[in-house]
A and B are shown apart, each in its own frame.
Chain A
């Protein structure tokens, strides 16, 4: 799953097909096994009853101990929004920062501290509206950060205005006649911003969420995980079709190296729907009706396939792809930045006095 190569100086950081350096390499390991309880802070959780954020918090609390790293070397940085309260509820280091800017803070932290596992928690408004610029630049730089984008397709904390992922026509407090904004597709956007890891999970699907988080943690570079999250107060039931009966006809789970099949089991025991190429795009067909050779095999190393999958369903949830769209290796900004500093330092400790003197000094005698 190799992407482009870079300067020979960074050779060691580029995937050469050898076992690569992982997202957690350099982070010290815990001496004793830890539990979800160890990662739980004493702060009372204050989301609305039924909020999808609870499920994600529970999943993350039990997932973190499985990484085996020291709790004190784990940092969560968030922006502003309901979801951005997340760090307060974890007993790790954390910063609840300002609206949209969490990726910038996490970038400075990750560049200077390779011994930390740095996570960003952000919402659809936080990440894609006010913080859009920082998000795309974090993704293209490929700093070793894990970004959890809680997409409830609404502004929760400010009580229900439409967001950059709200569907067109949506009636909200600020759009009584329906929203006229065309929404972002966060996965397409991330891929367009050169993201090396993009995944998607549904808040209530703990198994898939945990799997995607695990792969994100292991990925060296920026990982974006879009979490479809329910806001029962201001966008109630927005993802209900992905939870109710018939959801298997909508959710398209991805597994690297496997043909993309989903839905109720067909005669061969695999899903009765299949994804096939349709010109330059993809479409869903009845698996039994096509030559199995035509069924697309998922390749998380293919940028083009990942993008086509992200377009399978746009604003509606007819076919919602979940799992890992893209997981590919490219030199990370933070490793490269540190490599340059190390390279400069290799010549031995420089002398401050000679820097200050420069090359042209003169002496005034006393």
Chain B
């Protein structure tokens, strides 16, 4: 089959075939073996979709092993993508379309496909041997067990091989392009533009033009297959979303976070120094920042996490913006140095991309169980500010904000991202770089002793912020020594004096407590909800989506998202007390709820799940319904969400 002459470049001319059906939103899940390139396939479909102008949200889900044994359940890797013609906030609960590249991928994912869902299966992998390997006694494609779905069996490997016959590639190499066949087929089904993918493939395989061509041929073959066979009766159209006006791009949380750090170097005018040790899911921030030396960013891959933060702190002492990036296990190792940074009162940005714990836990899965570690995980009274982004794009703003607080208040700041934000992506309204607020590091240059002498007092605080002066080595006349031993208030020399220690402990706490953060905002469209759902971090999406569903059913529910976890917004207590019920869903065993209950004495309720996967909107919808006022006219009727409401 030659495909070179087929025009696949113009989505508005799908060529022959039936008229497309309109859809508001679609969830697609690509699932295959770790070696099948499902993450790449998902990424490409995401890019095509972003370029097309849909709103979208993604959820990559892959095993911790680089290559688990081929064809096994632990080796299954998947990529879920939710796109729509309106603004959405989650990667979707259940797929409408499941692409299963082998029996293991089918077995691991079929449970999530609702009845009537579209199932596209690569039949070439459904050999007796492969089926028995994962415990299928009969071929599910033949035993009727998939009857409730719209099944499309496609011999993807064979068809790809056929399309690549003339390239002279080996059978094995040719078959490896079958993921691009799948991508081509789905691109056809959903009228995605394809120029971007072809350009991407040419660049990715710049050194192997033969492979680039092979992948493009496979991609086009998949497209042509959809168009020419009778097997697919319909295509679908999801119109571009009406997003806020502006320039958009697709971005993952880790990339946005890295860009935020680059931007923070610009807004503060400080050289950025990153000290880091590789760890999933944070390593990509190190990778990304190491590409941006031209912005004055120095990256240092240390011998361990302790060294990574130590070097960052040393750089901060010298007048750089010190940054360290890691995940939960790394934070555990860094705790002692974080405590040192608290008492040194130097700016430092600490990024924790949370993953499943304890210990090594679930390295590639998401969780929110490091909140209390960030809050209290140090010896002594060692408070510090904590900020958590709510979406991939928000990682940029959170990093810029965290750096601003660190520099202004001379303090280490912990930024709590998580695995779902780190690897998930969404369309991001690109900020105007020239509009970013600049921050003056305000280095000390003169002696400051209150008696007017020529002494420098490193712990004499700013009356407003309680921040201490930052005098960097090389500044004549301000030579001073700082360290982990308690310091005399003001003068900064070593002090073992009981009252001084009590005062210093309180001053440090007061400084952090007094950091100005924006007031919390409640989203309560009806204005008279009884139930307030409070979330933080990446649960923002599912909480908002579930609230929309519940409201769509005629119920009232209010939501509040916390971005600043320390200090809390000044109006938080008042807001919490003004609702009959406060509900806090978290991907831990109730860490934020513990803080809220302790701090505000409100009887906040907790809903928790720690599965390594984000909440599903449907699941939270049911939880919310359970808390709604029984006297409300439509309460108790748990229907399904109306079309177009889910997000």
Contact = CB atoms under 8 A, between A and B. Distances in A.
Interface of A: 41, 43, 70-75, 77, 80, 87-88, 91-98, 101, 103-113, 115-116, 133-134, 137, 337-338, 340-341, 343-345, 347, 349-353, 355-358, 360-366
Contacts of A355: 259, 262, 292, 295
B311 interface: yes
A72 B47 CA distance: 53
Contacts of A43: 481, 493-494
11 contacts: A41-B481, A43-B493, A94-B483, A104-B310, A105-B313, A107-B311, A108-B315, A109-B318, A356-B263, A361-B248, A362-B51
A93 B50 contact: no
Contact of A77 (B314, B315, B484): B314
B431 interface: yes
B250 A111 contact: no
Contact of B311 (A111, A360, A363): A111
A107 B259 CA distance: 25
A365 B294 CA distance: 33
Interface residues of B, number: 73
A134 B307 CA distance: 7
A344 B304 CA distance: 26
Interface of B: 47, 50-51, 53, 196, 242-251, 259, 262-263, 266, 271, 273, 275, 292-298, 300, 302-304, 306-320, 322, 336-337, 340, 344, 430-434, 473-485, 493-494
B310 A360 contact: no
A108 B249 contact: no
A98 B311 contact: no
A100 to B, nearest CB: 8
Contacts of B481: 41, 43, 87-88, 93-96
Nearest to A107: B311
Contacts of B271: 112
Contacts of B318: 108-109, 112-113, 116
A73 B473 CA distance: 6
A345 B248 CA distance: 28
A93 B479 contact: yes
Among A80, A92, A94, A104, the one with the most B-chain Cβ atoms within 10 Å of its Cβ is A104
Nearest to B429: A364
A97 B484 CA distance: 6
B34 to A, nearest CB: 27
A350 B306 CA distance: 32
Contacts of B250: 360
A77 B310 CA distance: 11
Contacts of A353: 432-434
Q: Which 3 A-B pairs have the closest CB atoms?
A: A104-B310, A96-B483, A108-B314
A41 B248 CA distance: 57
A15 to B, nearest CB: 24
A70 B478 CA distance: 13
A74 B196 CA distance: 54
A97 B319 CA distance: 17
Question: Do most interface residues of chain B lie in helix, strand or loop, or is the interface mixed?
Answer: mixed
A113 B244 CA distance: 44
Q: Which of A77, A350, A366 has the most CB of B within 10 A?
A: A350
B454 to A, nearest CB: 13
Nearest to A96: B483
Contacts of B430: 356-357, 361
Contact of A111 (B248, B295, B306, B315): B315
A357 B477 contact: no
Contacts of B320: 108, 112
Contacts of A92: 479
A250 B114 CA distance: 85
A101 B306 CA distance: 8
Contact of B485 (A96, A113, A344): A96
A55 B335 CA distance: 35
Contacts of B344: 95
B317 A356 contact: no
Contacts of A75: 473
A356 B300 contact: no
A363 B248 contact: yes
Nearest to A87: B481
B433 A350 contact: no
Contacts of B249: 356-358, 360-362
A357 to B, nearest CB: 6
Contacts of A351: 433
B311 A357 contact: no
A105 B317 CA distance: 9
Most interface-central of A133, A351, A356 (chain B CB within 10 A): A356
Contacts of B295: 350, 352, 355
A97 B337 CA distance: 9
B210 to A, nearest CB: 25
A91 B479 contact: yes
Contacts of A363: 246-248
A88 B495 CA distance: 13
Contact of B310 (A108, A340, A349, A364): A108
Nearest to B455: A42
B474 A341 contact: no
Nearest to A349: B294
A96 B476 contact: no
B427 to A, nearest CB: 8
Nearest to A134: B307
Contacts of B482: 94-96
Contacts of B479: 71-72, 91-93
**A41, A98, A107, A112 — which one has the most chain B CB atoms within 10 A of its CB?**
A112
A117 B106 CA distance: 62
A137 B53 CA distance: 49
B310 A112 contact: no
Contacts of A350: 292, 294-295
Most buried by A among B433, B474, B482: B474
A91 to B, nearest CB: 6
Contacts of A72: 473-479
Contacts of B480: 93-94
A292 B283 CA distance: 59
B53 A364 contact: yes
B273 A111 contact: yes
A95 to B, nearest CB: 6
Given A134-B306, A349-B294, 7 more contacts: A41-B481, A70-B476, A107-B311, A108-B322, A111-B273, A355-B295, A356-B430
Contacts of B196: 360
A145 to B, nearest CB: 10
Contacts of A71: 479
Which of B51, B271, B300, B478 has the largest count of A CB atoms less than 10 A from its CB? Answer: B300
B303 A133 contact: yes
A337 B475 contact: no
Contacts of A107: 300, 307, 310-311, 314
A101 B273 contact: no
A201 to B, nearest CB: 25
